[in-house]
Amino acid sequence: MTTAVATAVKTSPTQTFSIDLAHSDAAFQVRHLLSKVRGRFTDFSGTVAFDAAQPEKSTVQLTIQAASVDTGVAQRDEHLRSDDFFAARTFPTLTFESSSMTRTGEDTFDVLGTLSIRGVSRSVVIPVTMLGRAKDPWGNDKLFFEAEVTLNRKDYGLTWNAVLETGGFMVGDEVKVSLNVQASAA
């Protein structure tokens, strides 16, 4: 190990960051008829155990409250919380727990982990871009990253749909999920 790397390891231990809900978002979009419906979750939390010397050894944990789904239409949101979709009373959380990270570029990683929705747990790879690390005006250490992945909702038991009289289905199977996260050092 070179002296520079040894110094970096000594001065850059793993540090835990907590997601700052006020400066982060968890959004999604899905086809509805011929257009797309966009929504978000307003209540989520998580941590990043960040290893500055070896970012690929970092870990991520995320918990989203299913009942916080918000598409801007109250009736649709109630339907999404119902047993037809998230079954939020029975399965109140959506969770992701990383198991490994693979560097794919200077600031990009594929994060492998287990995503659990509606009682179904599946292995998924989420491409993540680390946007940087900075101190806010009060000297608090912040970590910034974004991620986007497309999931098949049926893989997680979200199978409700309606056949259209013209053929096809009301709701698409693919859901694009986007995360923009600012996390604060604990």
CATH number at 77 reads: 2.40.128.110
In a domain, residue 7? The reply is: no
What pLDDT is stored for residue 168 in this prediction?
66
In a domain, residue 99? The reply is: yes
Question: Model's pTM, two decimal places?
Answer: 0.88
* Digitized pLDDT (tens) for each residue of the chain, 186 residues in all: 444 444 444 455 899 999 999 999 999 998 876 679 999 999 999 999 999 888 889 999 999 999 999 999 999 999 999 999 999 999 999 999 999 999 999 999 999 999 999 999 999 999 999 999 999 999 999 999 999 999 999 999 988 877 666 766 668 888 999 999 999 997
What pLDDT is stored for residue 160 in this prediction?
80
**The pair of three-digit structure tokens given for residue 12, joined into one six-digit string:** 């850059």
What pLDDT is stored for residue 32 in this prediction?
78
In a domain, residue 43? The reply is: yes
In a domain, residue 1? The reply is: no
In a domain, residue 69? The reply is: yes
Question: What's the farthest any 2 CA atoms get from each other in the chain?
Answer: 70
What pLDDT is stored for residue 11 in this prediction?
52
In a domain, residue 3? The reply is: no
In a domain, residue 6? The reply is: no
Structural domain including 99 reads 14-185
What pLDDT is stored for residue 1 in this prediction?
40
Interatomic CA distance for residues 38 and 176, integer angstroms? 9
What pLDDT is stored for residue 13 in this prediction?
81
**The pair of three-digit structure tokens given for residue 141, joined into one six-digit string:** 């250490």
What pLDDT is stored for residue 3 in this prediction?
41
What pLDDT is stored for residue 104 in this prediction?
96
Q: How many folded domains does the chain comprise?
A: 1
What pLDDT is stored for residue 167 in this prediction?
66
In a domain, residue 138? The reply is: yes
